[in-house]
A and B are shown apart, each in its own frame.
Chain A
């Protein structure tokens, strides 16, 4: 059994005001075009002005979020950088591929090719933070960030020395990718207003999303926003296996369902996957608040990143904004939070987070 690890700083660029806002989720953003896109920030604060000119949006988003997290943690150089991404910089891939087809494989711009490489953001973050330590990029669909976090937990359990790893995720929803995924029946046919996505859980499909979220993960308890007690990965999840996983995580940590103050769920308004979350709504006691997040960030491979950032804010503020609440509990404070998320390509994860109340 591995020792828990701690989140000491977190930042997210998302479709909500998550980056610079002094309050949690002010002026909630909604959309009606089937997808939620990241609200841009002033990327020049985080990236060298010469380098930024040729950078694609995904790189700017990913690098800025990573650099902001390092700043918030009050460090210059992390001990290593680990990321998870389902798609990397989709737009660079589309541009290089589109040009290659249109120009018949002649006179192509290598910048798109280089930036489409899944580990390019990791490379940039290493350069900008002068981090020559461990560096890794996971590309495993809905488990990309989860495996990155697990890797950090393993690293921190391999060494007793004080260490801090920069761990994060990034994915983007481009116009083309939205069309591609529509053919794979990811999105709702009748596009809902995103804020009310979860009121349409009787039809198939969801809305697209994107975002980047980074965290410093450390074994230094005194710097913690919260503790990651356990990360549990599921394949081809069923309603039963999700419940079994939740029970197992709680039992491993000596807890009961009633000990959970908040369950943060990845319900996406898709009738095909709503049954995975239904028992959570039904079985949790009056104590527990059940909350959701995908109506605020949309569906993407690494939406767990947005949820985990949100969790750190819930711990820090000790409040659950009304816009998240699916079932209101009577919990006076937030000490234990369970994050349950599913992604359509056959993965789900259960993560237990806590602070000492």
Chain B
């Protein structure tokens, strides 16, 4: 890459808590955030463990200084705003605006969490009611537009939806916009709130485990869903130094490819995952042996972990790095997964830790490799973070020590 792109501010809200401190402490202490949901109104709520954010919508509104009740803000947007609030602490808003920046958001189902409750009113003969406040909240750009409005900022905006790789793609776009000189900085990431729509979608595909998910384990049975929002501030190393900002990590490479294999299943030998990781290494000018830890996509579905594991075996051969999936901590947060796991990868570099792959007990039959079971000290210089999605959309990001 021409100019080094660095990360200088982070914001996160997940089932592990609100803000960097709470999330990092949970990772360090090995405390997962999964429980039976209290806020999601679903007949399946008592059956499935989920990574639900502890705050109610009203709690989130209070944190944001917004009126509580039916105020037109969806939970998707509220999560995004809370995480964005933390990112914005890392930079002067006026400087951000004056020098030009992008806000690249990502999302899978927009404000579905609100719309699914109101939809009968949306399509009935009823013309008046509180539901009208949510009438334009279904699309994915809704949360992006609300970020712009809430903070009173005027960035270049875009919203991406490539299923579970969405926010990893947002990070790539932000980096490229900076390298082209279109903007000086970019705030990139994604948000997704739990919804009955998504839960039932994955449930109808028989992809959801009632037990805590077990990535890369022979007994794995499926994923646990989660909700989160995570954003990263990207800028050039030069611009970070100019303003005296602390550099948290370097985004040294990225890759985006497509499986071109099946609408929902990955290519069985992990060709897509292999190509994507290789592309990211090439972009970073690194060799496989340079990677010290992989924050795997590791959804704990039968197909993903087999394909991803095989790809890791083939690409890294005799130099298999430490690897783990942090999804047992947070659940699979879909469009937010790429960005919150990018944040976990950066913390791995900062703390010199490889995060534990909770609940792992039994090696997979198809694989010779096993993940890091408990969080351990590790010398990390380069970390790879994978995000793979429906539609064959694969992304790998490489972060390096600042």
Contact = CB atoms under 8 A, between A and B. Distances in A.
Interface of A: 2, 81, 86-88, 93, 96-98, 100-101, 104-106, 108-110, 113-114, 117-120, 122-124, 126-127, 129-141, 143, 147, 151, 154, 157-158, 176, 179-180, 183-184, 233, 235, 301, 345-346
Contact of A180 (B122, B259, B262, B392): B122
Given A96-B201, A126-B258, A120 B392 contact: no
Nearest to A235: B154
Given A126-B392, A184-B136, A137 B162 contact: yes
A139 B200 contact: no
Nearest to B144: A140
Given A117-B391, A345-B136, A138 B159 contact: yes
B135 A127 contact: no
Contacts of B197: 96-97, 100, 113
B159 to A, nearest CB: 4
Contact of B173 (A120, A151, A235): A151
A130 B272 CA distance: 12
A122 B391 contact: yes
Contacts of A129: 260
B204 A117 contact: no
14 contacts: A81-B258, A86-B139, A105-B42, A106-B43, A126-B392, A132-B260, A132-B271, A132-B275, A133-B258, A135-B258, A137-B393, A151-B173, A154-B180, A179-B123
Contact of A118 (B116, B148, B161): B161
B189 to A, nearest CB: 15
Contact of A138 (B115, B158, B182, B389): B158
B156 interface: yes
A131 B108 CA distance: 23
Contacts of A119: 161-163, 389-391, 393
B393 A135 contact: yes
A75 to B, nearest CB: 15
Of the candidates B132, B203, B393, the one having the most CB atoms from chain A within 10 angstroms of its own CB is B393
A147 B158 contact: yes
A98 B173 CA distance: 35
Given A127-B260, A137-B393, A184-B136, 12 more contacts: A97-B112, A108-B203, A114-B390, A118-B162, A119-B163, A122-B258, A124-B263, A127-B392, A134-B258, A135-B392, A154-B182, A157-B180
Nearest to A183: B135
A157 B51 CA distance: 41
Q: Is the interface of A mostly helix, strand, loop or mixed?
A: mixed
Q: Contact residue range for chain B?
A: 35 or more
Q: Which 5 A-B pairs have the closest CB atoms?
A: A123-B391, A113-B201, A135-B258, A118-B161, A110-B204
Given A119-B162, A137-B160, A105 B258 contact: no
A212 B224 CA distance: 36
Contacts of A131: 258, 260
A97 B116 CA distance: 7
Contacts of B43: 104-106
B127 A126 contact: no
B282 to A, nearest CB: 13
Interface string B53-70: 000000000000000000
B333 interface: no
A184 to B, nearest CB: 5
Nearest to B391: A123
Contact of B260 (A130, A140, A233): A130
Given A119-B393, A183-B127, A136 B169 contact: yes
Contacts of B256: 134-136
A233 B392 contact: no
B140 interface: yes
A110 B139 CA distance: 20
Nearest to B107: A139
Most buried by A among B112, B161, B169: B161
A140 B159 contact: yes
A8 B182 CA distance: 25
Nearest to A107: B204
B161 A120 contact: no
B163 A140 contact: no
A123 B389 CA distance: 10
A139 B107 CA distance: 9
B145 A345 contact: yes
Interface string B262-288: 111000000110010000000000000
A235 B147 CA distance: 14
A131 B169 CA distance: 18
Contacts of B257: 132-135
Contacts of B275: 132
B390 A123 contact: yes
A97 B139 CA distance: 14
A139 B161 contact: yes
Given A119-B391, A133-B257, A105 B196 contact: yes
Contacts of B258: 81, 122-123, 126, 131-135
A109 B200 CA distance: 10
Interface string B372-401: 000000000000000001111100000000
A35 to B, nearest CB: 15
A139 B260 contact: no
A158 B139 contact: no
A113 B163 CA distance: 12
A113 B204 contact: yes
A290 B388 CA distance: 46
B180 A2 contact: yes
Contacts of A86: 139, 141
A88 B160 CA distance: 12
B36 interface: no
Contacts of A97: 112, 115-116, 119, 197
Contacts of B144: 140
B176 interface: yes
A136 B139 contact: no
Contacts of B173: 151
A108 B204 contact: yes
Nearest to B160: A138
Contacts of A345: 136, 141, 145
B396 to A, nearest CB: 13
Nearest to B122: A180
Name which of B44, B140, B144 has the most chain A CB atoms within 10 A of its CB: B140
B120 interface: yes
A136 B255 CA distance: 12
Given A97-B116, A122-B391, A151-B173, A114 B264 contact: yes
